[in-house]
Each structure stands twice: as C-alpha cells, then as structure tokens.
Amino acid sequence: MSRLAAALFATALMTAALPARAEDRRVTIVNNTGYTITNFYGSNTGADSWQEDILGKDLLPPGGSVVINFDDSSGYCMFDFRAVFEDGDEIIDQKIDVCTIGTFTYN
C-alpha cells in the first residue's frame, strides 16, 4: 500500500470514528393566538402516531411560551406539530425542521 493510500485510509478511519454532530432540537413554542393551547403534539415525520401530549396537564395560554426538546433519539430533524386549542380547533404543521429553527409561533 502506498503512503498516500495508507494516509487516506487512516483519515477515513478517523472520520468514521467521530460521533455525528449533535443537533440542538430545542424549540420555543409561542402562542400568539387569542386561545389557550390545551394539547400539543410533536412527532418525527417517520412516526405513525402523534405519541403523547407534550404539555401533559399544563396549558399554553395566549401570550405564553414553552421550550420543548424534540430530541427523541431517532436522529430526525423533521417533525410534525399538532396544536389543539380550547375551542376545539386544531392546527397541524408538517415538516418543521427542529434542528434549524429556534422558535415556532402560532398567530
């Protein structure tokens, strides 16, 4: 094996051994509507269901915000959001890149 080939092989091995860059998946959800958000769901685009209500027993009132960490150990950056409001309306937003946005606002 030539020196160049050996050096390239060694570089490839070192690169492969490095961990993938950890993405920050924390997003501030802001409620700028006139209605309280009673339920909020965020599932990666590869999931078959909405999973659990992220807010649990909490509510997100008008003018309020909450920071949610969407790191579900799947490696996904693309998530679908579902917000359910006190009047029964719901908004579904698809393919939100939680690795590149810091804030998502409902108006």
Q: What percentage of the chain exceeds 70 in pLDDT?
A: 79
Q: What is the pLDDT of residues 53-96, one digit of tens each?
A: 999 999 999 999 999 999 988 899 999 999 999 999 999 999 99
Query: In Å, how far from its chain's centre is CA 41?
Result: 11
For residue 80, the enclosing domain spans: 23-106
| 14 lies in some domain | no
Domains of the chain: total? 1
Check pLDDT > 60 for residue 21: no
| 32 lies in some domain | yes
**Three-state SS annotation for 22-79:** CCCCEEEEEECCCCCEEEEEEEECCCCCCCCCCCCCCCECCCCEEEEECCCCCCCCEE
| Amino acid (1-letter code) at residue 80 | D
Residue 3 pLDDT level (bands cut at 50, 70, 90)? low
| 93 lies in some domain | yes
pLDDT at 88: 97
C-beta of residue 28 within 8 angstroms of C-beta of residue 16: no
Global pTM value: 0.77
Dihedral of the alpha carbons of 46, 36, 38, 89, in degrees to the nearest 10: -70
CATH of the domain at 53: 2.60.40.2890
| 18 lies in some domain | no
| 31 lies in some domain | yes
| 6 lies in some domain | no
